[in-house]
Amino acid sequence: MHLPLGVRVYLHRLRSEFDAISVGCNTVRTDNPYLKVQYVEGKDPIRVVPCSKADVSPDSNVFSEPEKSILVTTSSVPQERLEVFRSKGIQVLVAGERKIDLERMLILLAQQGIRNIMVEGGSRLNGNLLSRGLVDELVLIHHPIVVGLVEAPSLAEWSGLPPVRLSLVSLEVVEGYPVSRWLCLRSQSVAGHRLEYSYAHYTKHGGGKGVHTEYFGEDRSIRGV
């Protein structure tokens, strides 16, 4: 489903405000997004892909500008695999042994001058960030429809314990789409980073289903500061 132009402008204006933008490797494989800024004037953020096994293609759209791309992976990946990315000009950072150490990742990015990050999912990355208290703010874009699904995808995958408590910051309507901003009360800062999550979703009995648009990837977005 395509979002109205005004909503796209809103989302891409958010992108233009950040040093970096990030998605997990599963989102890269399934959606193959570019993660560039469109519809508004502004610089493209650096693309950051955390992927513990480095099992994504270096020819994916997200790496189309290698000088603005970073693969974050683990020490378990063979060096010859990492050299494939490096040979294309893609920077490789190692954070963790077998799983991505997200706190370490944020520190490494901060050392390169990346002080704020917009993360656009998927749900596993969202859950890892939320469950570790690394998300400061959620931005929810509510589609004015109801979708009946037996098993709706989750906004964030994790056990849900302890829950993340929210406090409403603001509520506005953009071309008929309510946009709510929420402060995460369990968040913590790592190396000066704060994370903000922007999620376009359907309402379904209080739950949500991510909306994918290949052109701008606003289905499961986390913004980080």
- The whole-angstrom separation of Cα 199 and Cα 48 is 18
How would DSSP label each residue in 33-95? Answer: ------SS--PPPEEEEE-TT--S-TTSGGGSSGGGEEEEE-TTS-HHHHHHHHTTT-EEEE-
Task: Give bridge partners of residue 174 from the DSSP assignment.
Answer: 177
pLDDT per residue over 57-93, tens digit each? 999 999 999 999 999 999 999 999 999 999 999 999 9
pLDDT per residue over 135-183, tens digit each? 888 888 888 988 877 777 778 887 766 788 899 999 999 999 999 999 9
pLDDT of residue 119: 83
pLDDT (average), residues 9-38: 94
pLDDT of residue 160: 65
Domains of the chain: 5-224 (3.40.430.10)
- Considering Cα of 123, then 101, then 167, then 10, what sign does the dihedral take? negative
pLDDT per residue over 119-147, tens digit each? 888 889 989 998 888 888 888 888 898 88
- The whole-angstrom separation of Cα 86 and Cα 191 is 26
Whether 53 shows a pLDDT value over 70: the answer reads: yes
